[in-house]
Amino acid sequence: MKFICPLITVSDINRSRKFYVDLLNQKVKYDYGQNVTFEGDFAIHLQSHFKDLIDGKEIKTGGNNFELYFENDNVEQIVDSLKANNVCFVHPLREQPWRQRVVRFYDPDNNIIEIGESMEHLCLRLSDENLSIEEISVVTGLSSGFIIESLKK
C-alpha cells in the first residue's frame, strides 16, 4: 500500500483553489473540476461532491484537529500578504519551543494552515545568532550532522 496525499473538503472549489494558488503560491498538478491536487501532493475536494461519495454522511469543518504544513524561509513576508488579504489567524508569527518561527491561520473553510521556516534555515538563523552546533542541537533536537550539513548551504 502506498500513501498518496491528504485531502481536505472545501465548500467552494474555485475560492479555495484561488486561495492556495494566489496566496500560498501552490501550483496545480491535476484539476478534475470537483477535486484539485497541487504539486505538493495535497488535494482539495468540493464538499457537496465528496458528501455524495461518503453516502451523505455529515462533513464537519473547523475542528482545529488537522493542519496542512508548508515551509518558507521568509515567513514575515507571507504574514504581511495574509494580513493584506484579511486572513484569519490562529495565532501570530511566533517561535516554537525549538525556536522554529511559524504562523498558523485558517483557509476559507477553517482548515488550519501552518507555515514555518525550514529546519535548515532555522540552523542558519541560530548560527547567525552565534549559537554553537551543540547549542543548536540542544535547542532544536536536531542532530549535529544535520546542522553541519545545513550550515554548508
C-alpha closest to that of 115 among 68, 70, 84, 66: 70
Whether residue 152 is predicted with pLDDT greater than 80 in this model: the reply is yes
Residue 1 is predicted with a pLDDT of: 94
Band of the pLDDT at 92, cuts 50, 70, 90? Answer: very high
Contact, 37 vs 30, CB < 8 A? yes
111: closest CA among 77, 88, 141?
88
The predicted-structure confidence for 9-54, as pLDDT tens digits, reads as follows 999 999 999 999 999 999 999 999 999 999 999 999 999 999 999 9
Residue-wise pLDDT tens digits, 71-90: 999 999 999 999 999 999 99
pLDDT at site 108: 95
Mean residue pLDDT across the chain: 95
What's the grid cell of residue 24? 500560498
Name the pLDDT band for 62 (thresholds 50, 70, 90).
Answer: confident
d(CA 7, CA 111): 11
Q: Answer whether residue 61 shows pLDDT above 90.
A: no
Task: Yes or no: say if 82 and 75 are a contact pair by the CB < 8 Å rule.
Answer: no
| Comparison of pLDDT for 80 and 61, the residue scoring more | 80
